Amino acid sequence: MIADIVSLICILAGALLSVCAAIGLMRFPDLLSRMHAAAKPQILGLLLILLGAALQNPHWATVSSLIVIVLFQMGTTPVGVHMVGRAGYRTKHLRSSLLFRDDLADAVARAESRERAAAQERAEADEARDLADAQDSVEAQDRAGDQHRAADQDGAEAQDRAVVQDPTADRSRAEPRTDGDGDADGDGDAGAGARPTAGGSSPAVCLPEGQASEPDERG
């Protein structure tokens, strides 16, 4: 009888604490206040409810299972709440006016200064790498231009040496070749299929046999 009364009291107290935690989550103003409302009353209310269940069923199998549940809740809930609080502090999801003590201000300031310094170093390294790449590109273009100019100069010097060694070769290539008749192509004929006539230099036209040339009516 006494065990039943104690079990009933524990279960009712645990349920009341869980209701208070739910009300705190809905009514408290900022993240840290809601975090306290979600963590402390919930853990205590869960412990009271599990204690009432153990008093109602005092067997080793039931008690061992309830002990495992309590250990998991006490090990995971504080860690999760701590991480949520740090994340909320870093993202400014809180009211600084409600804080009585701020132990993370110096640590966060140092971390932010290190992050800014690292970002500045990365930016400087990227800028230096881009500048070095641009200088390498300009130097490569200059080297290519020097090589082209050197090749052109070598070709011009080779042509000059060839002209100095054989000065007649350049003139023979430049002047056209003529034969004894004065023709540039050297064939000596005025045209293909033409022959000079007795009266002048006009070529005679050869007609097929049996076809006489008609007199020129205009003549």
Q: What pLDDT, in 10s, does the model give residues 105-131?
A: 787 788 888 888 999 989 989 888 888
Over the stretch 7-22, which tens digit does the pLDDT of each residue have?
889 989 989 988 888 8
Q: Among residues of the chain, what percentage have pLDDT more than 70?
A: 75
Task: With cut-offs at 50, 70 and 90, classify the pLDDT of residue 213.
Answer: very low
How far apart are the C-alpha atoms of 3 and 62, rounded to whole Å? 16
Entry pTM: 0.45
Instruction: Tell whether 128 and 87 lie within a shared domain.
Output: no
Backbone torsions φ then ψ of 142, nearest 5 degrees: -65, -45
Question: CB-based contacts of 188: which residues, under 8 Å, 6+ apart?
Answer: 179, 180, 181
Task: Mark which of 48, 70, 95 sits at the end of a domain.
Answer: 95
Instruction: Tell whether 55 and 137 lie within a shared domain.
Output: no
Residue 198 domain flag = no
Instruction: Tell whether 66 and 8 lie within a shared domain.
Output: yes
Give the number of other CB atoms < 10 A from CB of residue 34.
Answer: 18
Residue 155 domain flag = yes
Task: With cut-offs at 50, 70 and 90, classify the pLDDT of residue 201.
Answer: very low
Instruction: Tell whether 129 and 150 lie within a shared domain.
Output: yes
Instruction: Tell whether 66 and 38 lie within a shared domain.
Output: yes
* pLDDT averaged over every residue in the chain: 75
Task: Mark which of 149, 166, 183 sits at the end of a domain.
Answer: 166
Residue 219 domain flag = no
Instruction: Tell whether 72 and 24 lie within a shared domain.
Output: yes
How far apart are the C-alpha atoms of 35 and 83, rounded to whole Å? 11
At residue 44, the pLDDT reads 87
Residue 45 domain flag = yes
Q: Is the pLDDT of residue 214 over 60?
A: no
Residue 149 domain flag = yes
E-assigned strand segments in 58-193: none
At residue 192, the pLDDT reads 42
For the segment 119-148, the average pLDDT, to the nearest whole number, is 87
Q: How far is CA 27 from its chain centroid?
A: 46
For the segment 194-203, the average pLDDT, to the nearest whole number, is 45
| Residue 53 · residue 62 · CB < 8 Å | yes
How far apart are the C-alpha atoms of 192 and 206, rounded to whole Å? 12
Instruction: Tell whether 39 and 66 lie within a shared domain.
Output: yes
How many helices, marked H, and strands, marked E, lie in the chain? Answer: 5, 0
At residue 205, the pLDDT reads 47
Instruction: Tell whether 89 and 108 lie within a shared domain.
Output: no
Instruction: Tell whether 107 and 91 lie within a shared domain.
Output: no
Instruction: Provide the residue type at 123 as one letter.
Output: A
Domain of residue 110 covers 103-166
**Largest Cα–Cα distance of the chain, in whole Å?**
162
Residue 205 domain flag = no
Residue 213 domain flag = no
How far apart are the C-alpha atoms of 207 and 72, rounded to whole Å? 126
Place of tokens 């100019």: 149
How many domains does the chain divide into?
2
Task: Mark which of 45, 72, 95 sits at the end of a domain.
Answer: 95
Extract long-range pairs of 86-94: CB within 8 Å, 24+ residues apart. 88/31, 88/32, 88/35, 89/32, 93/30, 93/31, 94/30, 94/31, 94/32
Instruction: Tell whether 65 and 21 lie within a shared domain.
Output: yes
Q: Is the pLDDT of residue 67 over 70?
A: yes
